[in-house]
Amino acid sequence: MNESTSKLTCAPVRMSVFSTPSHVAVVRVAVERYCALLGFSKRSAGEVALSVDEALTNVIKHAYHGKEDMPIEVVMESTIVDQRDALRIEIRDWGTAIEPDKIKSRDLNEIRPGGLGVHIMKQCMDSVDYIPLPQRGTKLVMIKYCNP
């Protein structure tokens, strides 16, 4: 692989999907393959894919309230954060804005369904930031370092 091909391998990948639950798996598979291209271990790639799955699930359930024909944009790219190689994933929706202060992991001692997605994302990724957008919707930015 020459240098220009290598750069293209790590070029950003942009996906636009609808908020239909069946598309979550489509994105998940693509994320896992992209992580493999960047040299992530199988376990780390699985953690990133799970985090993206949880993020998309939250968008479908909470930002779009189950409506299946709304847009979601996912961008993944290789980047450098704090002088370390990293994967940056951005997930953009145009639904009900989320208040970042209200997003937190719930008490895991409560045995009840739901509310685990944010906890999983924070456990699996190195940073998780929700950014409410001025017009409408939310941008979620997640970072995972290539070498932990």
Partner 1 sequence: MLGKDGPVKKVQWVGADNNVVVITAAGEIDLHQSNAFQQSLMEPLEQNPSRVVVDLSEVSYMDSSGVASLVKLLSRAMKQGIDVRLAGLNERVRSIFEITRLDTVFGIYPTVEEAVVSE
Applying CB under 8 A, the residues found at the interface with partner 1 are 21-22, 24-25, 28, 46, 50, 53-54, 56-57, 60-61, 108, 111-114, 116-117, 119-120, 123-124
Shortest reach from residue 124's CB to partner 1, in Å: 7
DSSP code of 61? I
Shortest reach from residue 116's CB to partner 1, in Å: 4
Shortest reach from residue 104's CB to partner 1, in Å: 15
CB of 10 or CB of 120, closer to partner 1:
120
Is there a contact between 64 and 93 (Cβ–Cβ < 8 Å)?
yes
What DSSP line would sit under 91-124, residue for residue? EEE-SSPP-GGG--PPPTTS--SS--HHHHHHHH
Q: How many residues does the chain have?
A: 148
